Structure 1
C-alpha cells in the first residue's frame, strides 16, 4: 500500500502532508477530551497522564531509531551491491576473451544487453518483467559457457570465465533479495503509526487536562515525526524519491563495454582460446 502511495512526487507530498494532518487531528481530539474531563480529574491523575505521555514518546523514539537503522543499513547494502555487480560484470566481460571466438562474441553482446537491462529505469509494475529478462540473459550466457566448457573441458581460462559468470548471477540474486525481500516489516511501520497516534492523543489529553496547550510545539513535534517516518519509508522503497542509489559504477561498466565493442576488430583483447 505504501509502495503505491509513494509511486510519484505528488503522492510523496500527499503522504507527508497526510501524516501531519492526521496526527494534528489526534492532538486536537485528545485536547478536547481532556478539556471535557478536566473538571472530573484530580491532580494526581493529571500527573499520571504526563508520565504515560513521557513513556509513549520514549517508546516512539526507540521505534523510530530501530526502523531508521534497519532502513539505512539496507540502503547502504544496496549501494555496495551495485558496485559489486558492476565489478563482476566488468570482469566477466574481460574474460570472454578466454572463450572460443563464436561463444566469446555472443557472450559480449549478451553482457552488453545485460548491463543495459540492469540500468533501465523501472516502475514498480515493470519489476517482474525486468527480473525475468535478466534471468533469460543469464540463461543465454550460461548456454554459451556450457558450449565452451564442452569443447574445452580441461581449460583453466574457460573455468575462470565460468567462475566470474557465477558471480554475476549471484550478484543479481543478492540485489533482488535485498531490494525486494529484505525490507522493513509492514507490521513495524504500522506499529510506528499506532504508537504515534496514541502519543499524540495522550499529548492532546495532557494539554486539555492542564487547560492550556502549546500549538507551535505540537506542530513542530508532528512535523518532525512525519519527516523521519517519510525518510524511513523512502529508504525502504524499491524506487526512492529522496535518496537515490548511485548507479555510476554500472554506468561506467556500460560505457567501458560499449567502447570495447565499438573498436574495429577488437584488437588488444588478447589471444582467443580455440584449443586446450
Structure 2
C-alpha cells in the first residue's frame, strides 16, 4: 500500500470543530448568560405569583436542581478524568516513540556503510516528521492527515533499508538485534496514532455543555424565585464550570493550548541524531 494513501485509513480520527478562541468565547459568555436568564425569569415569575396571591414555595424546583447538579458533577468528574488519562497517554506515547527511535538509531551502527548512514538518516527524517510544530491547529482533519502522510512517507524507507543492511552474510543474532529495534519504531507509530483523537466525542461535549447550561439556568431561576439578588458566588460557580470544561477541551490541544504536551524527549532525540550525523552528512 502506498504511504500517501495509507493516511486515508485513519478516517476515524476525530478533531475539534472549534478553535480554542471560539471555545473560550462560548464558555466565557454563555454560562453567566444562563444564570442571568434564569434569575430574570425567576424574579418575573415571583412577581406574578405574589400579585396573584399565590405562594412561591410550591413552584420552586429544588429537586430538579439537585438532580441536575448531581448529574453535572458526575459528568464533569468523568470527562475531566478521561481527559487527564488521554493527556498521560499522549505524553507516554511520545516518550516511548522517542526511546525506540533513539535505540534503533544506535543499533544501526552495527551495519556496514553505506547502509549504516542511510538508515540513520532515514531514522532522523522520520523522527523530524513525528515532531508537531508548536502552535499547530488541530481543528482540520486535513492537517492531521497531512501529518500522518508525511510520517508514513518517511517511515516507508526504514524497513527496506533494514533488510538491505541485514542481508547475508550479516550475523543472524545481529539481524534480530537491529531489525527488532526498527520494528519497535514501526509499532510505536500505531500507539501514537491512537492518541490523535479528541478525548471526548463532539456529541459528549455537547451533552456536558448543555448540562452546564441547564443547571446554571435552574440555579439562577431558583435564586430569582426566592427573591435573592445575583451575587458573585453564582458567577464564580459558572466560571469554575466553564474553566473545567475548557480544560477538558484544551488538554487535547497539546501544541496550541494552555496545557501543552511536553515533547522534549522526542525533540532531544532528534537533536542527538543530528549531532551524531553532523560529521557524515
Aligned counterpart in structure 2 of residue 199 of structure 1, from 201, 211, 215: 215
Give the deviation of 1:153 after TM superposition: 7.1
Aligned counterpart in structure 1 of residue 102 of structure 2, from 66, 69, 90: 90
Deviations 1:87-123 (A, max 9, x none): 1011100111222322212101111111111124144
Aligned pairs for 1:5-154 (under 5 A) are 5-6=18-19, 11=21, 14-38=22-46, 39-40=48-49, 42-47=55-60, 49-121=61-133, 122-124=136-138, 125-152=142-169
**Equivalents in 1 of 2:132, 2:228: separation in Å?**
56
Give the number of equivalent residue pairs. Answer: 258
**Equivalents in 2 of 1:176, 1:238: separation in Å?**
14
- Confirm or deny: 8 A CA contact 2:65 2:218 kept in the other structure: yes
Aligned counterpart in structure 1 of residue 202 of structure 2, from 186, 207, 210: 186
Give the unaligned 5+ runs of structure 1: 266-276
TM-score, length basis structure 2: 0.83
Deviations 1:169-191 (A, max 9, x none): 111111111223x6212222111
**Equivalents in 2 of 1:233, 1:227: separation in Å?**
10
**Equivalents in 2 of 1:2, 1:227: separation in Å?**
20
- Confirm or deny: 8 A CA contact 2:98 2:265 kept in the other structure: yes
**Equivalents in 2 of 1:229, 1:18: separation in Å?**
11
Task: Give the secondary structure class of the aligned counterpart of 1:20.
Answer: helix
Give the unaligned 5+ runs of structure 2: 1-13
**Equivalents in 2 of 1:2, 1:87: separation in Å?**
27
Q: Structure 1's 178 and 136: CA in aligned 2 closer, same or farther, altered over 3 A?
A: same
Larger helix fraction of residues: 1
Aligned counterpart in structure 1 of residue 186 of structure 2, from 166, 169, 186: 169
Q: Structure 1's 144 and 2: CA in aligned 2 closer, same or farther, altered over 3 A?
A: closer
Residue number in structure 1 paired with 2:228? 212
Q: Structure 1's 139 and 152: CA in aligned 2 closer, same or farther, altered over 3 A?
A: farther
